[in-house]
Amino acid sequence: MHDNFYSKYSIEIDRFIKQSLQEDIETGDHSSSACLDGDKPETAHLLVKESCVIAGISLAEKIFKEFDPELTLEKYFKEGTELEKGEIVFSVTGKAKSILATERLVLNCMQRMSGIASLTKNLTDEIAHTHCKILDTRKTTPGFRYPEKWAVVIGGGYNHRMGLFDAIMIKDNHVDFCGGMKKTLEKTKSYLEKNMLNIPVIVEVRNQKEITETLDFPWIKRILLDNMNLKELIKSIKLIDGSFPTEASGNITAENLVPIAETGVDFLSMGALTHSAKNIDLSLKAL
C-alpha cells in the first residue's frame, strides 16, 4: 500500500522537497564551496545506528534527484524492512558537493519517518490478533505532514483524512455550535448536495443519544466513539450493531491499545504515531 503513496500525493511531496531544499540551501552551501574542488564522483552510505523499521528511502532518492539528477542511489533494502544496527540502507554516488548539500534534509526526513514507521509497526503487531486497524491523525508537524503520514503507511498503519479538505469530520464543537447532532447532520447533507461533493463524513459521538441520532443518517461513513472507557465502547458498538464502521479515539496509548482493539471496534486513531515517535539514529558517511 505504501508503494502507492507517492503516486497519490506526488504534487504535495514534490512541493515539500522543493520548499525544504530552498529553506536549507537558499543562496548556496558555503561550507562545501569553501573547501571542495572539482566534480569527481564520490560515494557515501546511509548507516543504521539502532534497530528500526526503515522508512523514507524513496523520499531520499527524490530529494537527491531533485537537487542533482546525476546523483545515483544503490538501494540494499526496501521500505518497511526491519533492520539492525550497523546495516547499510543505500549508497549514493555523485558530486561530493551535491551529496553534502542534501545530506541533512535526507537524514532529517529518514530519521523522523523511520521513528514513526517503527512505532506504528510495534503497535500494529500488538493488535494483530484483532481485526482493528490503526489510523493516524492531523496531529502532525506543520509542513511535514505528507512524509509523516507516508511513514505511518510504511509501518503498517492507515491514513485518516489528510486534512480539512478531503473529508468531513463532525466533532463536538461543530455539534454544539450548530445546535445538536440532528441539525448538524441535516445541514451537512445539504452542504454536500449543494456543492456536489463526494467526500466521506465521519461523525464523532460522545454518548448513546448522539449515536441513536446518527443512526438515522445512513450516508455516514464511520462513527467515531470519542473518549469512551471500555464499558462505554462495548455498549456503543453493540448499539451500532454493524450499521457503520466504528472508530475509537481520544487518549489511546500503548498501555490501553490492546483492550480497546479487543472491544471489536474497527479502527482506532492515535495522534502519538506522529507527535510522539522517537527519531531513529542514522548517519550518512563518506566511503
Q: Can you give the pLDDT at residue 287?
A: 82
Q: What's the mean pLDDT when you consider all of the chain?
A: 97
Please state the rounded mean pLDDT for residues 11-19.
Answer: 98
Tell me the residue length of the chain: 287
- State the DSSP string of 173-238: HHHHHHTSHHHHHHHHHHHHHHTT----EEEEE-SHHHHHHHTT-TT--EEEEES--HHHHHHHHH
Look at strands 41-48 and 282-286 and give their pairing.
Answer: antiparallel
Same domain? For 10 and 130 the reply is no
Distance of CA 253 to the CA centre of its chain: 17
Question: What are the tens digits of pLDDT across the range 63-91?
Answer: 999 999 999 999 999 999 999 999 999 99
Q: Where are the beta strands (DSSP E) in 63-120?
A: 72-75, 82-83, 88-95
Same domain? For 265 and 135 the reply is yes
Same domain? For 106 and 137 the reply is no
Q: How many domains does the chain have?
A: 2
Same domain? For 130 and 268 the reply is yes
Residue 16, number of CB atoms within 10 A of its CB: 20
Cα torsion through 66, 70, 74, 78, rounded to 10: 20
Question: What are the tens digits of pLDDT across the range 130-143?
Answer: 999 999 999 999 99
pTM above 0.85, yes or no: yes
Please state the rounded mean pLDDT for residues 48-59.
Answer: 98
Please state the rounded mean pLDDT for residues 275-282.
Answer: 97
CATH number for position 261: 3.20.20.70
Side-chain-side CA neighbours of residue 225 (13 Å): 30
Question: What are the tens digits of pLDDT across the range 151-175?
Answer: 999 999 999 999 999 999 999 999 9
Q: Can you give the pLDDT at residue 37?
A: 86
Question: What are the tens digits of pLDDT across the range 235-253?
Answer: 999 999 999 999 999 989 9
In the chain, % of residues over pLDDT 70: 99
Q: Can you give the pLDDT at residue 1?
A: 60
- Residue 117, pLDDT > 70, answer yes
Same domain? For 130 and 271 the reply is yes
- Residue 2, pLDDT > 80, answer no
Same domain? For 259 and 187 the reply is yes
Please state the rounded mean pLDDT for residues 80-109.
Answer: 98
Rounded to whole angstroms, the Cα distance separating 139 from 66 reads 28
Domain interval for residue 8: 2-125+278-286
Same domain? For 134 and 270 the reply is yes
For the chain, how are helix, strand and coil distributed in percent, rounded to 5?
45, 20, 35
Same domain? For 253 and 223 the reply is yes
Rounded to whole angstroms, the Cα distance separating 109 from 91 reads 17
Same domain? For 50 and 137 the reply is no
- Residue 47, pLDDT > 70, answer yes
What's the sign of the alpha-carbon dihedral 97, 101, 103, 104?
positive
Greater model confidence, 208 or 38? 208
CATH number for position 53: 3.90.1170.20
Same domain? For 58 and 190 the reply is no
Same domain? For 132 and 256 the reply is yes
Residue 205's pLDDT band (cuts 50, 70, 90)? very high
Bridge partners of residue 48, in order along the sequence: 282
C-alpha cell at 85: 544496527
Same domain? For 42 and 178 the reply is no
Please state the rounded mean pLDDT for residues 7-23.
Answer: 97
